[in-house]
Amino acid sequence: MRSRYREEATLKLGIRVQVGSVLLVGVLLFLPFTWNEGEAAEGEVQRQEIGKAKTGAVEVEAFLESPSPSGQRLNVLVREVEGRAFAYLKVNVTLEGPGEPLKLSLKPVIEREGLHYQGDLPPALKGKYRLTLSLEPTPEMRELERKLTGGKERKPTEVSFEFERP
């Protein structure tokens, strides 16, 4: 009786391991094709560091990549420093320079070390600019913090960097 159950359990486990292996291999084979999505097929991607800052519970790094389909791509990495849950963080971006200030919406990208946000910039970006990042909790996180701290709210954290585009 026991050997029959062992055989069935071994069979089920073997099928699960095989299915899991096939899925893992499929993901690993597909990953290189999606990893560099949006980058130019020819030429090397150039990276311009904008700045790094450590503030409160997070470390923020901003840089530009070019070429991308639109010309330049803004990247913002947010890494956890103190062990707070930053997955509930909203990043607002303002770019001030020649002309009207730009409000940018960045899309979150999966990153192993933290949150990675990306957004395309207009191709004719030249001159001196000030990049302001406002890090604020999402409404869900704000409600949780309010419950945990007895009604106190954390103000948005602002980080600014200055850079120049030739």
Q: What's the predicted TM-score (pTM) here?
A: 0.59
Contact between 137 and 154 under an 8 Å Cβ cutoff? The reply is yes
Domain limits, the chain: 1-35, 46-165
User: Rounded to a whole number, what is the distance in angstroms from the first to the last CA of the chain?
Assistant: 78
Class of 46-165 per CATH? mainly beta
Phi-psi region of 83 (alpha: psi -120 to 50; beta: other; left: phi over 0): left
Three-state secondary structure call for residue 100:
coil
Q: 52-98: per-residue pLDDT in tens?
A: 988 777 788 888 887 655 577 888 888 876 655 555 577 788 888 88
Task: Report how far apart, in Å, the C-alpha atoms of 18 and of each of 9, 15, 24, 25 are.
Answer: 14, 5, 10, 11
- Amino acid residing at 118: Q
Q: 115-142: per-residue pLDDT in tens?
A: 788 888 777 777 888 888 887 777 877 8
